[in-house]
Amino acid sequence: MVPKGGCPRCGSQRVKKKGHIHNGKQNHPCKVCERQFVGQADPRRISDEQRALVERLLLERISLRGICRAVGVGLKGVLGFLAECYTQAPEDLVPIRIT
């Protein structure tokens, strides 16, 4: 079975099966560009309710690890959400470093 969309790098449908990764998902190497990938990765998105809760917990100055435990989201998800908030902030709100 060829993963939907083929290889993420080159788009080729010429892939083969090559074992499983640590969580049991099928690993596929591309025959054209030799990139290895998981065919059906589950994109875990933070829901809108979890985003609102993370924002409230950040205002309460709770640690990032504490927020991860309270909300049930991984650290990468919280950091990605923070980076997204930072890039959406207006330029005049971004702090300027004075040396």
The string of pLDDT tens digits covering residues 29-81 is: 999 999 999 876 666 678 899 999 999 999 999 999 999 999 999 999 899 99
Based on the domain organization, do 35 and 52 belong to the same domain?
Answer: no
The pLDDT assigned to 6 comes to 86
pLDDT of amino acid 60: 94
Tokens of 49: 């309710």
Using alpha carbons, select from 50, 40, 4, 6 the residue that is nearest to residue 20: 40
Q: With CA atoms as reference, report the closest residue to 54 among 29, 85, 33.
A: 85
- Position 99 in a domain: no
User: Structure tokens of 44?
Assistant: 């875990």
Q: Is the same domain home to 55 and 69?
A: yes
pTM: 0.53
Distance of CA 47 to the CA centre of its chain: 13
Range of the domain at 21: 1-43
Query: Do residues 47 and 35 touch, judged by C-beta distance below 8 A?
Result: no
Count of structural domains within the chain:
2
- Residue 35: inside a domain: yes
